[in-house]
Structure 1
Amino acid sequence: MIFKNILYALGLVATVVASPVRAEDSKMATAILAGGCFWCVQTDMEELSGVSKVVSGYSGGTIPNPTYENYHDQIDGYEPHVEVVEVTYDPAKISYDKLLDYYFRHIDPTDGGGQFCDRGPAYRPVIYYANDAEKAAAEAKKAEVARVLGAAVEVDVLPARTFWPAEDYHQDYHSKNPVRYKYYRWGCGRDQRVQQLWGGK
């Protein structure tokens, strides 16, 4: 959050509000995942074979039409959101189980207080399930990861709520602002911590 706020203060981003959307292709499936900064999660998930689209956004709360300025605010009568990505993938090419395996190996599943340098509930890791089968798969994967790491897994498994796409300037931020993105990711220590956790496992 600190690094992103610095970039925001320098005027390197601009606000465009988007409307909620869902994948309409019946042959494709979607998954909503939270793993800290959505710039980074989007970048990682786009590299996975079988994934056709990844959109950064907000979910998990009840604030309508959230923006980057208010999605995590404490507003009377509403629940704040979490930074998430909506992953559209082809189940014929990659299973939900394999998708979750990849997700876990690109976050710190032992940290429920945020991810890497981004702290607080807006950055906590969450798997949002759409049905009982996804819930069971997510819980099973959590147990598997706990055995592999030999540590408690602090990833929440919660029912999916409305997904709200983030502003355009957040989408594919790594492509639009490669230098700033690399500086943020390096400064946040994301890859260093992932390697420390998962290297050789």
Structure 2
Amino acid sequence: MSQRKKIVLAITGATGAIYGVELLKALRNAGVEIHLMISPWAEVTLAEETDYSLQEVKQMADHFHAAGDLAAGPASGSFVHHGMVVAPCSMKTLAAISHGLADNLISRSADVCIKEKRPLILLVRETPLSAIHLENMLRLARLGVTIMPPVPSFYHRPVHISDLISQTTGRVLDMLGLENMLVKRWQQT
């Protein structure tokens, strides 16, 4: 009997809250056990950018952990899981992770992923990028963190914004080793 995959998902306050929501839905459809955390600013962004209520989003996850709860499972290396995604990842969260500032559950859980050598994927959202942002990304990339800005592709000929979000969501699932039909695969002619 195979073990059900367990994924930690954090949504932070950067624009692009829909990436976190759509990834949450895709993980649920993939049968993954989801441990969700939402930063206080993500709550604001979620209300501004989507039609989802905070309660609706929380109910999509198997487990919800408050961002201030440093006693939650994902804060410990003994809490075994198969990876963490921060979608979207604010520059504040990126900086906290990059500098080991584990002052909330999101940055602490990411810190645990790094020390335990578990997959950590950051959908960083900002433009333009400053040298500080780039240095933080480089520092984490050198530690094995996947830096994955949600940059749209166009070879799949997107028609709706949802097509762009689905392509990125599918690529995240690919990085987690989860089969999906969200990605239109490149077809060499």
TM-score normalized by structure 2?
0.31
Higher helix share: 2
TM-score normalized by structure 1?
0.29
